[in-house]
């Protein structure tokens, strides 16, 4: 397993602070302490709190994008592969990626313009999903359902029991095999 970079360690510490205590608790001192790096070490990578949040959003964007694109590349069925990959990332990776979602929350609170990379990725995914061989409306409903599940878990609103969650994602996945 590759050695975790100091930058990644800092980003993961920042994500955990936001997730556990909220974006108000996100300070450079708190992140340095949590990441077990010196303040100077943190400042080498991120000179300001805004730069840290920007890095957190970019890291989250990169991870999710890689997760989805890897599944798209490995899907042998062309019709619905973007929607299916989006659903399956939620099914397979959402628990391990959940702390990363905190970057989105911190950015919204600090400077919503920092969400631009994620907004661009979503626009790209939406375009792919709409031109994936599925009905555009049905494909968009599938994406929105996955987003709704993700957001309900981030905010702890109506979180589903694991068995029902799995069944919902499986049902959504089944819908990706129905072409126009």
Task: Determine, yes or no, domain membership for 65.
Answer: yes
Task: Determine, yes or no, domain membership for 20.
Answer: yes
Task: Determine, yes or no, domain membership for 1.
Answer: no
Alpha helix ranges (H) inside 22-135: 28-35, 39-45, 49-74, 81-97, 102-110, 116-130
Mean pLDDT throughout 78-88? Answer: 93
pLDDT band (50, 70, 90) for residue 98: low
CATH code of the domain containing 143: 1.10.357.10
Range of the domain at 93: 6-175
Mean pLDDT throughout 136-163? Answer: 90
- Where is pLDDT greater, at 91 or 17? 17
Express each pLDDT in 12-57 by its tens digit: 899 888 888 888 888 999 999 999 999 999 999 999 999 998 998 8
Specify the number of domains making up the chain.
1
CB atoms within 10 A of CB 127: 11
Task: Determine, yes or no, domain membership for 84.
Answer: yes
Task: Determine, yes or no, domain membership for 57.
Answer: yes
- pLDDT at residue 154 is higher than 90: no
Task: Determine, yes or no, domain membership for 143.
Answer: yes
Task: Determine, yes or no, domain membership for 180.
Answer: no
């Amino acid at each position: 397993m590759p050695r975790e970079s100091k930058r990644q360690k800092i980003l993961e510490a920042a994500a955990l602070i936001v997730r556990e205590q909220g974006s108000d608790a996100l300070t450079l001192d708190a992140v340095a302490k949590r990441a077990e790096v010196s303040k100077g070490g943190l400042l080498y990578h991120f000179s300001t709190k805004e730069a840290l949040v920007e890095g957190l959003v970019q890291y989250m964007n990169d991870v999710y994008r890689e997760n989805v694109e890897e599944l798209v590349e490995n899907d042998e069925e062309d019709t619905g592969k973007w929607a299916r990959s989006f659903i399956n990332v939620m099914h397979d990776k959402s628990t391990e990626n959940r702390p990363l979602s905190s970057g989105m929350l911190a950015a919204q609170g600090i400077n919503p313009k920092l969400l631009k990379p994620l907004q661009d990725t979503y626009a790209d995914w939406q375009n792919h999903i709409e031109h994936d061989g599925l009905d555009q409306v049905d494909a968009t409903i599938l994406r929105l359902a996955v987003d709704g599940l993700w957001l309900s878990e981030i905010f702890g609103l109506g979180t589903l029991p694991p068995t029902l969650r799995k069944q919902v994602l499986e049902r959504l996945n089944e819908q990706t095999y129905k072409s126009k």
